[in-house]
Structure 1
Amino acid sequence: MQRMRWSFIVAAFLSLMTLAGIVQAEDKWLYPYVLASETEGDVNTAAEQTKAALQANGFEVVGSYAPYADTVVIGATNEALKTAAAKTEFGGYGAVVRVAVTKVNGKVQVSFFNPDWMAAAYRMKTDLAPVRGDMEKALGMKQFFGSQDPGWKAGQLEDYHFMVFMPYFDDHHELAEHDSYTAAIKAVEANLAAGKGETTKVYRVDIPGKEQTVYGVAIGGAPAGDEHIMKLIDKAAIKQTAHLPYELLVSGNKVYALHAKFRIAVNFPDLDMGTFMHINDAPAAIETALGQVAAGE
């Protein structure tokens, strides 16, 4: 009887500890970016070293580009990300982690978009903390950044919008409808190859088990262009370059993109209204550019 009583007490204690761990994981404060390292050197050399480190730790580098001088953005994915993306209707938006290599005042910052933040903001219903851990193992971990302390809770991000009457995650744009998934992919590939809307393809990732594909799309010019917008809003000492590029999602026979007023704000949660007004024309221009990529003949 005594042994049974102690077994019950131990089991109850372990159950409480497990529950506490779950609550703590769900209740932790999140930040949109991770600064992996800050060193001296050349941006392009650092970018190649970053790609090699990602590949050595199980990530697939799916594309990269230089949106402006002294900057390289890298798209990376792995099986865990693609599996998580397949579990929700629009999880494909979160199939790729964006990594940035940015030279600032003689220092090279290597940073990445936090998978924990992405999972919550994109309502992926999957804990991507192990992916973040693998990213930190590959690239390092210096600090979280991109939001004022104490950060945000996952529950807040799931219902994030900049302010009243502004779009949520599921208020994304349905840009085009085609006869089939195959036709949609064909149109997007052709339009990106032609540079429609001053765009360029950075990466493509097909979501396993679904007729769903996510593209990373670079945008040029003004007011929609990557460089134009980032010069106006990326003002902090540690750069939020891993905001780029924008996602375009083919799901079935339709093509979607996140509303730029959501996409920009959730990546820059400390953005004030005055700064947002400086890019007032950008969201509509981004929709137009991505709409040209999505359109049929």
Structure 2
Amino acid sequence: MKQLILWAVLLFWSQLSLALAPYIKGDKVAAADLTARVDLLEKKLQAEGFTLAGRHLPKGLTDHATVVVTDPAMLAVIRKAGGSTVIASAIRVGVLPDGSVSYTNPDYWYRAYLRGQFKSAQTGAKSVQARLAKALGDGGGMGGDVAEGDLENYRYMFGMERFDSPNSEIATHANFDAALKAVRANLASGVSDTSRVYEVVSAENQTAVFGVAMNSASDGEGWWVNKIGADHMAGLPYEVFIVGNKVYSLYARYRIALAWPALGMGQFMGIINAPDAIRATMVRVAGGGN
């Protein structure tokens, strides 16, 4: 009996050790206001070789922000992999009103977004993780957890979308240049109360990704993030990405669940309208119609 109990305990801990959190806690930044906190984070990240891509100050989430950076070495890996892996280009760092900091766990997000290409990116991912920890601190994981073996084909529960769900495709254009032009123009004009946070374009393999701020008071990110946890600021902004002549945006029952994996079903039901509202917004950003 004792052996059986010991085996069960060991199995439990071995499974737990293979679970990954979506975010890592950083050291607090003790700056007087949000702008100063963001400036400080950007300087720390640049000192470790990261390239600034944008900053996100979401409407409806007062005194919250996300700093977005890229890593040149990881971008080279992503470009070599090609296709939908372009969505993995951004590294996100969230900061809260009290100065709390968290950042995307590379091991978690690269497994989910690079999927079958992850093995070729492991060395780069470890470098990114080490330099993020040096720049921002490492206070351990936060935000829930997912077994590392589940991330390649992650879904929140049976029947919900995965990364490659067909309803993540939102527009088709004549060619890559036309798709890129449409997304840029729509974000510049603020279609559906959106704006551009960042963009990463790889013209040579016809891929691009944009961070999109959804600023609408009625169905933008503010209302649903406040319902499920604004401490996950590093989960924002949402993305649209282009592969060839097609534009995609990961369907929210996948994308939100990936960024907030500890959500209970009751919390999901509280934002039941968010997935279709987000998709409708992104369709308009993509130039896919009204």
Match of 1:240 among 208, 232, 249: 232
Unaligned segments of structure 2, at least 5 residues: 1-13
Give the TM-score, by structure 2 length. Answer: 0.86
**Aligned mates of 1:84, 1:121 — CA distance in 2:** 15
CA contact (8 A) 2:56 2:237 kept: no
How much is the aligned-residue C-alpha RMSD, in angstroms?
1.8
Q: Give the Å deviation of 1:83.
A: 2.1
Shift of 1:39: 4.2
Query: Does structure 1 residue 101 correspond to structure 2 residue 74?
Result: no
Matching residue of 1:52: 43
Q: Does 1:170 align with 2:164?
A: yes
| Alignment deviations for residues 269-297 of structure 1 (CA, whole Å, 9 cap, x no partner) | 11011000010000000000000010168
Offset of residue 207 of structure 1: 3.3
Take 1:28 and 1:296, find their aligned partners in 2: how far apart are those partners?
40
User: Does structure 1 residue 132 correspond to structure 2 residue 122?
Assistant: no
Matched, 1:84 2:74: no
Given the two structures, how large is their TM-score scaled by the length of structure 1?
0.84
Q: Distance in 2 between matches of 1:244 and 1:71?
A: 11
Distance in 2 separating the partners of 1:135 and 1:194: 34
- Matched pairs, number: 263
Measure, in 2, the Cα distance between the counterparts of 1:119 and 1:39: 26
User: Residue in 2 aligned with 1:112?
Assistant: 103
Q: What is the DSSP-based 3-state SS (H/G/I as helix, E as strand, rest coil) of the residue aligned with 1:291?
A: helix
Task: State the identity %.
Answer: 35
CA deviation map 1:4-28 (0-9, x unaligned): xxxxxxxxxxxxxxxxxxxx9xx74
Q: Higher helix fraction: Structure 1 or Structure 2?
A: 2
Q: Choose 88-97 or 265-274, whichever is displaced more.
A: 88-97
- 1:43 corresponds in structure 2 to 34
Unaligned 5+ runs, structure 1? 1-23
Q: Is contact 2:194-2:216 (8 Å) kept?
A: no
- Structure 2 residue 254 is matched with structure 1 residue 262: yes
1:215 matched to 2:210? The reply is yes
Which moves more between the two structures, 208-217 or 218-227?
Answer: 218-227
* Contact 1:255–1:294 under 8 Å retained in 2: yes
Instruction: Identify which of 67, 84, 91 aligns with 1:74.
Output: 67
C-alpha deviation, 1:55, in angstroms: 1.1
Larger Rg, first or second structure (1 or 2): 1
Which aligned runs of 4 or more in structure 1 are off by greater than 6 angstroms?
Answer: none
Partner of 1:253: 245
SS in 2 for 1:168: coil
